[in-house]
Each structure stands twice: as C-alpha cells, then as structure tokens.
Amino acid sequence: MFCYQCEQTASRTGCCITGICGKNPETAALQDLLVDATKGISKFAHRSRELGASDKDIDVFALEALFTTVTNVNFDPERLQSILKEAASIRDKAREIYNQACSDAGKEPESLNGSATWEPAADLDGLIAQGENVGIQKRVETLGPDITGLEELLIYGVKGVAAYAKHAQTLGQESDEVYAFIHEAMDFVTRPNPTVDELFTMNMRCGEAAVKVLALLDQANTSTYGHPEPTEVMWGHIPGKAILVSGHDLKDLEELLKQTEGKGINVYTHGEMLPALGYPELKKYKHLAGHYGGAWMRQRTEFSQFPGAILMTTNCIQEPREDYKGRIFTSGLVAWPGVTHIADGDFSAVIESALEAPGFTDEGENKKLMVGFGHNAVLGIADTVIGAVKSGAIKHFFLIGGCDGSELGRNYYTDLAEMMPHDTVALTLGCGKFRILDVDMGEIGGIPRRIDMGQCNDSFSAIKVAQALADAFGTDVNGLPLSLVISWFEQKAVCVLLALLHLGVKDIRLGPKLPAFITPNVLQVLVEKFDIKPIHGVRQDLDAMLGVDAA
C-alpha cells in the first residue's frame, strides 16, 4: 500500500506497510479502487451535465463514496466490497444518462476508457488486486511527484467538499453547483497530462467550492437547530446510565436524543460533538447531560473508561479495544469489522446496550466549558469587539483551529495559548480546541479570551466573522490584527485550507508538519503566492505574528 493523505503518515513520506490510522493494505486498496470508480462515474456525470442532464442518485453516491475514503471512516472490507458493487451499477446508470443526453443533443458520445470502463472483480481478492493497480504510486511513475502531489491536493480537497456536502444533504440542503464541481474535478484528474498551472487553477476552484459548501452546511445546521448560543456546559459525568456520541453528525445525535427521551439515560457528546451543546434545538433535551472526554485520538482510553454505549457517527473511529467492542456502534458511513452498524436510524440496539451497561455510579470532577460562539453570536457583539480593538484593549486575534492528533509537536498549540499576551484573543475551531481547553485565559472587558466557534464543519463562522471585521475596519482579512495558526490532519482540513487560499488569506502557519503530498516545488509555489509557513518555535512564531522585533 501507499497512502499519504493525512498528517500522521509514516516517516512523513507515506504509509507503505499499514496505515498509522489502522488501515490495512487490503482496505487501502479497496479505498483506492473506490476513488478510481468515482472518477469513472464523474466522467459520465460531468459530460451529462454539460448537456443539461443530471441525476440525484449519482450525485449523492459520489458524496458518499468520497467521504467513505476520508481518514478514519470505513475500515471494513466487506462494506467496501458492497459499495464498489454499487459504484459499478451507478456508473452504468451514469453512462446511460450520458448516452441519452448525447442522443437528445444530436451528438456522438465520446469514447471513454480507463475508470469509465472498469468492471468489478467477482470476489474480494480480485477487487483488492484491482485497487493495487490504481494507487498513488502508479500515478507517480507516470506523472512524477509534483503533478501527482497537486492532483492529490485536489482530490483531498474534493473529499473534504464531499464530506461537508454530505452533512448538508443529510439535513436537506444541496447545491447543484457543488455537485457539478465534484464531478468536473474528478473527471479532470483522469486527464493524461495536466499542467501545473491547470492543477493550481483547479485547486483554487476547489477552494471556491469549499466556501460554497461551508456556507451551505452552516445554513443546514442553523436552519434545523437554530443559531448556536453561548452556553455553559458540564465537562465530566454524573451518576446514571449513559450513551456517548462521537463524530460530527448532528442529525444522528438528534434522533438518538428523541429515542432516549424518558428512558433514564444521559447522553454525552465526545470530541467534535462538543459544539452540539450550543444549538437551541439540541440543548433543549434535558438528558443531553454534557461533554465527556477529549479529542478523537484519545478514544481508546476514554471509551474503555466509559461505562455505557458508544455511537460513532462520522469519521474519527479508531480500532476498538476488546473491552468495549461489544458496546460501540457505528452509523452513517462509518464502519469497522465486527462492530454493529446502525443503518436505518433505529438506535434501539444502542439504547439496549446502555441499559445493560452499569453506567456511572459517581459524579466526576466536573468542569465548565463555554460553547456556542457561532458567527451569529459573535457578530451580535461585534460593536463591543470592534470597540475593544480600537481602544487597544484587544491587540490581536489568533485563530487556533483545525484537527488534533497524537503525534509529537501538537503541544505547540497549548504553549501558544499559554504564551499569548493578555490583550489577545484565541478563536478556536475543530478538535484542535482540546489543546487549549485547559488553559485559563480569562476575559477582556467581558469578552472571553477563548472563543470556540464550533466543529471543523463550522469554519464558515470564522470566515464570516473575519470578513465582517475586515469590512468594519475598511481593510481585507490580511489587514486585520489576526493570525491563523492551523493544525491539520485529514481531508476536510485540506478543504478548509483551500477555501482560505481561494479567499486570498495569506501568512497561514500550518502544522505540526506540512503535508507529505506537497513536494518542495509545489510548496515553493504556495509560499510565493500565499506566504504559507510551517510552524517553528512558539516564541519565534509569536513574535513574528505580533510584529515584535526578535533582535
């Protein structure tokens, strides 16, 4: 196998024996094949769209197929085998629609090959062999590392767009523009000899699509659950039966809350589900008790200690330990071999497991956390914030956002928060917030010095607030006293990065290490155009961001 799509990739070059994430070579090959199969579907779907024909089933399948291959989502070869068979059927449907569209337009269909003509092998071993022939290294041999790296940057950005679009689609919000771009981009990466300039342009267009899909998801979340409100929540546990919900999916959390109401079960959020506690239509459930644990990569220890049932709703699953494998469940696109999957929204098996488990018999050493600072809440106090900046009470903002992870170097973000001057404010996004939740930051004139804006899915909030502040000060985002220090991990983070680059945001510090798929030549282009920087020492970076003369 060879995979370098996430930040934790082995030796900073690529996982070639087994994935650091837990993905084995067989699963990696099946995921590579699913990406390739999606390219074949998009070849037909993109051309059909140019002729005015589209199909929702094809569009939604593309979202789900790409989201399935995001890091820490689907590790189950049997589930992947089933999806690949469906991919062949969807591809045949896409071909029929394309041929009919050509006939209606009085034109001859193009003769498409490669992934457009793929036929699934009869068994799992055959599918794995097919996947081994369409991996990254095969393309490196043909295109070279720079072109392949730029193609992978685009593919990973599209995976992130698809993931966010799937979240929105689950809540009834869709965009034909986003569907069209996904198919166009996946078709584009099948071209035999793309140039650096063409790929760079497509990556910036992916950033444009990312901004659209983040706005779409924000609309989906807030129209369904209301605008997040600043809310103090419990971080810990109380006595009673318990269910822990991890991942990102608000819809699954809502359905579980409905089905557990009145059953004497406390529901807790975990990881990226923490911001759910600020949504009015979710926090109205009194048995949504609070938050338990930290970021996703601590789950094996935390889930072992949790005396109830556990539901994984989206990416971030790790190999379950035996002591809780019988009481962890997956939903949506998540899968692990041997773990019970909830496919129909009926969480009765989860509820039964929670009632059979002992639950908590004591009250934890509970803390309080503030959540719910979405763009609506922050812009509601915009005048106060602007006044604090103009008076000099607030000198600088730091966006400490992105993903958390287990490798060395992520203590950088904790150290940064602890060393920030007392007249500065930290905006947080994503599970990277867990690096600084224990830091006592206090307030500035009633404004919290740590303002959490939500999940990585809520990146639109930060974009909207930054644009509003820029308008208020008569500048662009790059003219604000704002520094972006981003921790990345998987493909949704790549999508958000491309969104920021599309908006022209410069001087982003990225860590704890740069993507392995970004070659030195490609990095040089990004440095020249956007002044992207790797993180260095905290003191050195902090002085640079604050404009302090190191001499």
Please write the tens of the pLDDT for every residue from 35-90.
999 999 999 999 999 999 999 999 999 999 999 999 999 999 999 999 999 999 99
Going by DSSP bridges, is the β-strand pair 288-291/265-269 parallel, antiparallel, or unpaired?
parallel
Q: How far apart are the first and last CA of the chain?
A: 48
Do 508 and 486 form a contact (C-beta atoms < 8 A)? yes
**Partners of 447 in the β-ladder:** 444
412: its two tokens:
């950088």
37: its two tokens:
């199969």
Do 506 and 211 form a contact (C-beta atoms < 8 A)? no
Q: Which residue has the tokens 């008790």?
A: 289
The helix (H) or strand (E) run that includes residue 460 is: helix 459-472
Q: What is the pLDDT of residue 551?
A: 43
CA quadruple 247, 253, 259, 261: dihedral, nearest 10:
120
DSSP state of 345: S
Do 328 and 303 form a contact (C-beta atoms < 8 A)? yes
What is the side-by-side order of every strand in the sheet holding 340-342? 340-342, 328-331, 309-312, 241-246, 265-269, 288-291, 231-235, 367-371
CA quadruple 320, 321, 327, 331: dihedral, nearest 10:
0
- For the 377-546 domain, the top CATH level (class) is alpha beta
| Alpha-carbon gap, residue 374 to 380, rounded angstroms | 10
Rounded to the nearest 10 degrees, what angle do helices 77-105 and 25-50 cross at? 20
What is the side-by-side order of every strand in the sheet holding 424-429? 450-452, 424-429, 396-402, 482-487, 509-511, 533-534
The helix (H) or strand (E) run that includes residue 425 is: strand 424-429
| Alpha-carbon gap, residue 151 to 113, rounded angstroms | 19
Do 337 and 273 form a contact (C-beta atoms < 8 A)? no
Q: What is the pLDDT of residue 130?
A: 98
Pinpoint the alpha helices (H) of 306-458. Answer: 322-325, 348-356, 375-380, 382-391, 411-419
The helix (H) or strand (E) run that includes residue 235 is: strand 231-235
Q: Which fold has domain 231-356?
A: Rossmann fold (3.40.50)
Q: What is the pLDDT of residue 85?
A: 98
Which regions of the chain carry the CATH code 1.20.1270.20? 10-224
| Alpha-carbon gap, residue 280 to 218, rounded angstroms | 15
Domain 10-224, second-level architecture? Up-down Bundle (1.20)
The model's pLDDT over 86-122, given as tens digits with 9 standing for 90+, comes to 999 999 999 999 999 999 999 999 999 999 999 999 9
Q: Which residues, other chains included, contact 551 with Cβ-Cβ below 8 Å and sequence gap of 6+?
A: none
| Alpha-carbon gap, residue 195 to 527, rounded angstroms | 19
Q: Which residue has the tokens 């267009």?
A: 205
Which regions of the chain carry the CATH code 3.40.50.2030? 231-356, 377-546
Closest CA to 188 of 170, 177, 171, 200: 200
Which amino acid would we find at residue 343?
Answer: A
| Alpha-carbon gap, residue 482 to 389, rounded angstroms | 11
State the maximum Cα–Cα separation within the chain, in Å, rounded to a whole number: 73
50: its two tokens:
């140019």
Which amino acid would we find at residue 77?
Answer: P
In the predicted model, residues of the chain with pLDDT beneath 50 are: 551
Could you write out the DSSP letters of every residue in 18-57? S-TTS--HHHHHHHHHHHHHHHHHHHHHHHHHHTT---HH
Closest CA to 309 of 256, 245, 255, 257: 245
| Alpha-carbon gap, residue 340 to 76, rounded angstroms | 12
Q: Prior bond to 77 cis, omega within 30? A: no
SS3 of residue 484 by DSSP: strand
174: its two tokens:
């869709």
Residue 260 has, within 13 A of its CA and on its CB side, a CA count of 30
0.85 surpassed by pTM: yes
Could you write out the DSSP letters of every residue in 134-172? SSHHHHHHHH-HHHHHHHHHHHHHHHHHHHHHHHHHHTT
DSSP state of 319: P
SS3 of residue 75 by DSSP: coil
Q: Which residue has the tokens 């001057």?
A: 421
